[in-house]
Amino acid sequence: MYLARREFLTRSTLLTAGILFGPARLITAQQTPASAGPIDPTLLEDLIAANRILAQEGIVDAFGHVSVRHNRNPNRFLLSRSLAPALVTAADIIEYDLDSNAVNANGRAQYSERFIHGEIYKARPDVNAVTHCHSASLIPFGVTSVPLRPMYHMAGFIGEGLPIFDIRKTAGMTDMLVSDSQKGRALAQTLGNKTAVLMRGHGVAVVGPALPFAVGRSVYLELNARVQAQTMALGGGQITYLDPEEARKIMESGENRSYERPWELWKKKALGK
Ligand SMILES: [Zn+2]
């Protein structure tokens, strides 16, 4: 027993150090990519804030996550270890390559759905921040034929509607989680060039060129879903959604001024400063 354990530890140490030769060494090299280096402190603070804001605004509970592309290397992204977003601190952030291999997990538990982030960054060079949440208000629009449509000016990013990812079409019967590269790639393909993708029976992935966009869109997407459900519940009468041309003009005008005003407010509330 003692010997077996010692042998295991020795082998683990060698694997971790990456000094075994042959296939084991190759696997180790793939699993521990090089770091891009120190994270910009402002970006790190914003990533912590983004985690706290999503919890504070009721977009995530214990589940859900948010990532940002590394400031030094577009082939790296930053995401918390497996943890409720409200609890995330700088010490919890793990660096990943775009295959969602951790650079510095150091034994920390990882989100099983980190592939959502890696595969979207791979497919969308314009995207620098990704959120994934299970907002209850969005679920109906992923499981019915009722399309989510932009109700008001804060939801112009919905445009002419959002795609729906049905994991069953790519992977058959699953536990619904995007827990490997293949499923992540299929999700990113369904997202296409849109700002978000609804996930049937699961939630949503939202993207943006920076954290305030991904977080702001996550907040207003959930609000829009609630407003649309309320409007439809009124019954009767015709609903006037934003015209695609109006949505386009909103996007052209800097999409609600880059979320600067709400971001300042949310961040102050979330970080207490
Ligand atoms: Zn999920």
| DSSP per position, 135-185 | -GGGHHHHHSS------SGGGGGGTT---EE-HHHHHSS--S---SHHHHH
Instruction: Return the pLDDT at 31.
Output: 64
- Gap from CA of 199 to ligand 1 centroid (Å): 9
Calpha distance 48→85 (Å, rounded) = 8
Instruction: Return the pLDDT at 147.
Output: 97
Q: Name, in order, each residue with C-beta under 8 angstroms of 176's C-beta and a sequence gap of 6 or more.
A: 167, 201, 202
Calpha distance 259→244 (Å, rounded) = 21
Looking at residue 235, its amino acid is G
Instruction: Return the pLDDT at 30.
Output: 57
Q: Name, in order, each residue with C-beta under 8 angstroms of 18's C-beta and a sequence gap of 6 or more.
A: 25, 28, 29, 32
Report yes or no: 203 and 135 within 8 Å, Cβ to Cβ.
yes
Q: Of these residues, 57, 95, 113, 119, which one is catalytic?
A: 113
Instruction: Return the pLDDT at 249.
Output: 97
Backbone conformation region of residue 86, classed left if phi is above 0, alpha if psi is from -120 to 50, else beta? alpha
H or E element in which residue 132 lies: strand 129-133
- Gap from CA of 189 to ligand 1 centroid (Å): 17
Instruction: Return the pLDDT at 257.
Output: 80
Calpha distance 145→236 (Å, rounded) = 18
Residue 153 phi, psi dihedral angles, 5° rounding: -65, -20
- Gap from CA of 96 to ligand 1 centroid (Å): 18
**Which fold, 41-271?**
L-fuculose-1-phosphate Aldolase (3.40.225)
pLDDT tens, per residue, the chain with 273 residues: 333 444 334 334 434 433 334 444 444 445 689 999 999 999 999 999 999 999 999 999 999 999 999 999 999 999 999 999 999 999 999 999 999 999 999 999 999 999 999 999 999 999 999 999 999 999 999 999 999 999 999 999 999 999 999 999 999 999 999 999 999 999 999 999 999 999 999 999 999 999 999 999 999 999 999 999 999 999 878 999 999 999 999 999 988 889 999 999 999 999 987
Give me the residue label for tokens 């990113």.
188
248-253 contacts, C-beta under 8 A, 24 or more apart: 248/156, 248/159, 249/156, 250/153, 250/156, 250/157, 251/156, 251/157, 251/159
Q: Name, in order, each residue with C-beta under 8 angstroms of 91's C-beta and a sequence gap of 6 or more.
A: none
Query: For the whole model, what pTM was predicted?
Result: 0.88
- Gap from CA of 69 to ligand 1 centroid (Å): 20
- Gap from CA of 217 to ligand 1 centroid (Å): 17
Calpha distance 127→133 (Å, rounded) = 17
| Angle value at C-alpha 182, between 82 and 38, nearest 5 degrees | 45
Residue 113 catalytic? yes
Instruction: Return the pLDDT at 104.
Output: 96
